[in-house]
């Protein structure tokens, strides 16, 4: 009996220990504000941009380097931060250790979906299977973590009047990301956009991403990269922050500073945080993310990473810590807050705002693969050797015949049936089109100076290919683990043990 009582005491102590270390509660949105989904307290983002670049040549994914994460996140916790923004990850890597370290530090993640290799290019925009597949894989890799706060579908993509057409392609990615999350994730993870605040198009951008009858085509939050407040001589009124606050007064979703921290005056003392988290802005804004964590060539760092992988604090770190220390906005409770503001009205097309309100369809790997099986003339190994070869090949063939089937016009809202395929697939389709319809299947017309080759088609035609769809659910991906899931399984195991012991007694 004594032995049983000893076991019971140990089990109770273990259960108490487990329940005392709670996982971070997921953050949810109601109207214009973020809230803790459990405590129902309003959540303000106190964040930092986190994308170390100079420490290692392969450091493109900062959330795959556990030792660096533990070093940095402990310092962030001391600073009083609760959010990081990461611009680029590799979804094929394991992120459990870093996400656990982040969770242990009480910090949430805001993550950009696109990477330089697979992104919507503002001057020549298109939305293809590579962009969508990369974005979908990133969502799948991170959506199970409880401290996954939100995803950005774009960062300053349309950044002036000459690049506005690119926004319709971003809106297509937004629609697909939200739809995928809705069918694959256990909870609704917000998806938003970060804007550069160009004076000519800021109102249009703000309205465009928050207008549509379909919720899936509207962002859940809006970020503004704002560097107008420079130095301690600047004020809330003279910085432009007061005007930006007025701009969003009637906006229906949360808005925060997705980047801030002008470095025109060094060291930075961050006087703006008193307005961001104080009476000037806290009722309208949801916080901000200072740029950036590590010292890089652009001289914005809060810490300097040394050759031995230790971190040295810069004056900016201590100044930010001092500025943030007295600021603890309370906000409102979720249950007492009423969401009354309506989505925006879509902006009219003008010479300075040209994107269509009709986005392209969801890219489909199945459609492109099906089309490729119908071709008798395709791009050769020579063509596929470099991206430059593919680009030159497309320029050449599209100067010889119509490329409407692979083209995408974000201004008119007209998209070719294979406009979402990968560049080499588009080139293959056009070589085959020319070979079949212009060259009358003369072997000499499937050459293009060695850039094309004859193959045996697996399908007679491409009929039905363009409408083939990929599944929208996550069929298989790396399942995230967390303190919550480990604690939960261990806790229930202890409950079983306690029950058994009680029966013995």
What is the token pair recorded at 504? 């013995």
Say if residue 202's pLDDT is above 90.
yes
Instruction: Say which residue the tokens 């009637």 belong to.
Output: 250
pLDDT exceeds 90 at position 18: no
Catalytic residue (one of 156, 272, 292, 354): 156
pLDDT of residue 485: 44
Note the pLDDT of residue 305: 96
Given this model, what pLDDT does residue 227 score? 98
Can you tell me the distance from the alpha carbon of 411 to that of 358, in angstroms, rounded to the nearest whole number? 9
pLDDT of residue 15: 43
The per-residue pLDDT for 135 is 98
> Regarding beta strands 287-290 and 45-49, do their DSSP bridges make them parallel or antiparallel, or are they unpaired?
parallel
For residue 439, what pLDDT band results from cuts at 50, 70 and 90? confident
| Residue 481 pLDDT > 80 | no
Q: Which residue from 50, 132, 54 is spatially nearest to 91, judged by alpha carbons? A: 132
pLDDT-derived band at 473, boundaries 50, 70, 90? low
Q: Is 283 known to be catalytic? A: no
Handedness of CA 493, 499, 504, 505 (dihedral sign): positive
Q: What distance in Å separates the CA atoms of residue 285 and residue 243, rounded to the nearest whole number?
A: 13
Least confidently predicted of 152-166, 262-276, 475-489: 475-489
pLDDT digits (tens, 9 = 90+) for 326-370: 999 999 999 999 999 999 999 999 999 999 999 999 999 999 999
Q: Give the per-residue pLDDT at 489.
A: 41
Mean pLDDT lowest for which of 105-114, 468-477, 479-488?
A: 479-488
**Contact between 85 and 119 (Cβ < 8 Å):** no
The three-class DSSP label of residue 460 is coil
**What is the tens place of the pLDDT at every residue in 388-431?**
999 999 999 999 999 999 999 999 999 999 999 999 999 999 99
Query: Which residue, among 328, 253, 333, has the nearest Cα to 40 in the 3D structure?
Result: 333
Tell me which of 37-51, 112-126, 146-160, 461-475 is least confident. Answer: 461-475
Q: 42 pairs with which residues across the strands? A: 35
Q: Which is catalytic among the residues 103, 126, 204, 259? A: 259
Model confidence pLDDT, tens digit, residues 63-107: 999 999 999 999 999 999 999 999 999 999 999 999 999 999 999
Question: Quick one: pLDDT band at residue 274, thresholds 50, 70, 90?
Answer: very high
**Cα–Cα distances in angstroms (integers) from residue 114 to residues 28, 88, 211, 325, 465, in the given order:** 23, 7, 22, 34, 27
pLDDT computed for residue 441 by the predictor? 84
Write down the domain spans for the chain.
Answer: 27-335, 365-467
Q: In angstroms, how far is the first alpha carbon of the chain from the final one?
A: 8
Strands 45-49, 83-86: pairing is parallel
pLDDT digit string, tens, across residues 232-252: 999 999 999 999 999 999 999
pLDDT at 124 over 70: yes
Q: Among 2.60.40.10, 3.40.50.620, 1.20.58.1040, 1.10.10.10, what is the CATH number of 365-467?
A: 1.20.58.1040
Q: Which two tokens stand for residue 91?
A: 């979804």
Q: What is the pLDDT of residues 19-63, one digit of tens each?
A: 334 589 999 999 999 999 999 999 999 999 999 986 555 558 999
3-state DSSP call for residue 16? helix
Backbone φ and ψ for 69, nearest 5 degrees, come out as -60, -50
Q: Kindly report the average pLDDT of the chain as a whole number.
A: 91
**CB neighbours (10 Å) of residue 335?**
8
Task: From residue 65, give the alpha-carbon distance in Å to each of 27, 102, 161, 483.
Answer: 25, 12, 39, 18
Closest CA to 50 of 400, 290, 343: 290
- Quick one: pLDDT band at residue 288, thresholds 50, 70, 90? very high
Tokens encoding 110? 């805001």
For residues 272 and 241, the answer to whether their CB atoms sit within 8 Å is yes
Contact, 236 vs 275, CB < 8 A?
A: yes
pLDDT band at 6 (very low <50, low <70, confident <90, very high): very low
Instruction: Give me the pLDDT at residue 443, please.
Output: 84
Q: Is 292 a catalytic residue?
A: no
Among left, alpha and beta (phi > 0; psi -120 to 50; other), residue 116 is alpha
β-pairing, 414-415 vs 408-409, is antiparallel
pLDDT above 90: residue 171: yes
Q: Which residue has the higher pLDDT, 501 or 53?
A: 53
Retrieve residue 97's tokens.
């250790």
Please tell me the distance from the alpha carbon of residue 186 to that of residue 175, in angstroms, as a whole number.
18
What architecture does CATH give domain 27-335?
Answer: Alpha-Beta Barrel (3.20)
């Amino acid at each position: 009996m004594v032995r049983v009582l000893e076991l019971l005491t140990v089990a109770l102590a273990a259960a108490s220990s487990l329940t005392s270390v709670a996982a971070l509660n997921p953050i949810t949105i109601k109207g214009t504000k973020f809230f803790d989904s459990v405590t129902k307290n309003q959540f303000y983002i106190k964040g930092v941009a986190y994308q170390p670049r100079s420490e290692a040549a392969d450091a493109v994914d900062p959330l795959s380097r556990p030792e660096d994460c533990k070093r940095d996140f402990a310092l962030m916790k001391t600073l009083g931060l609760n959010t990081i923004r990461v611009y680029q990850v590799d979804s094929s890597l394991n992120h459990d250790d870093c996400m656990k370290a982040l969770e242990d530090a009480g910090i949430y993640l805001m993550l950009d979906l696109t990477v330089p290799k697979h992104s919507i290019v503002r001057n020549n925009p298109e939305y293809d299977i590579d962009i969508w597949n990369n974005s979908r894989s990133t969502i799948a890799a991170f959506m199970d973590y409880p401290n996954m706060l939100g995803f950005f579908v774009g960062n300053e993509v349309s950044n002036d009047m000459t690049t506005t057409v690119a926004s319709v392609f971003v809106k297509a990615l937004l629609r697909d990301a939200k739809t995928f999350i809705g069918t694959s994730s256990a909870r609704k993870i917000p998806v938003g956009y970060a804007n550069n605040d160009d004076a000519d198009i800021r109102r249009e951008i703000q309205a465009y991403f928050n207008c549509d009858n379909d919720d899936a085509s509207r962002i859940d939050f809006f970020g503004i990269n704002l560097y107008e407040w420079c130095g301690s001589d600047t004020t809330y009124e003279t910085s432009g922050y007061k005007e930006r606050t007025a701009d969003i007064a009637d906006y229906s979703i949360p808005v925060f500073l997705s980047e801030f921290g002008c470095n025109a005056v060094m060291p930075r003392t961050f006087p703006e945080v008193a307005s961001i988290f104080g009476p000037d802005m806290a009722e309208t804004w949801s916080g901000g993310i200072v740029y950036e964590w590590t010292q890089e060539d652009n001289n914005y760092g809060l810490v300097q990473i040394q050759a031995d992988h230790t971190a040295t604090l810069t004056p900016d770190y201590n100044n930010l810590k001092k500025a943030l220390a007295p600021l603890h906005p309370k906000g409102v409770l979720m249950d007492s807050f009423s969401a009354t503001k309506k989505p925006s009205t879509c902006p009219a097309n003008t010479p300075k705002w040209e994107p269509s309100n009709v986005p392209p369809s969801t890219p489909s790997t199945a459609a492109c693969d099906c089309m490729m099986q119908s071709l008798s003339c395709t791009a050769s190994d020579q063509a596929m050797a470099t991206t430059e070869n593919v680009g030159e090949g497309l320029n050449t063939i599209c100067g010889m015949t119509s490329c409407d089937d692979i083209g995408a016009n974000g201004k008119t809202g007209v998209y070719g049936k294979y406009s979402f395929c990968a560049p080499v697939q588009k080139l293959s389709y056009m070589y085959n089109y020319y070979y079949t319809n212009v060259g009358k299947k003369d072997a000499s017309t499937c050459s293009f100076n060695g850039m094309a080759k004859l193959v045996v088609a697996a399908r007679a035609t491409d009929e039905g290919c363009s409408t083939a769809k990929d599944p929208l659910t996550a069929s298989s991906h790396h399942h995230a683990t967390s303190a919550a899931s480990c604690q939960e399984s261990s806790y229930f195991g202890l409950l079983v043990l306690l029950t058994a012991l009680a029966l013995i007694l």
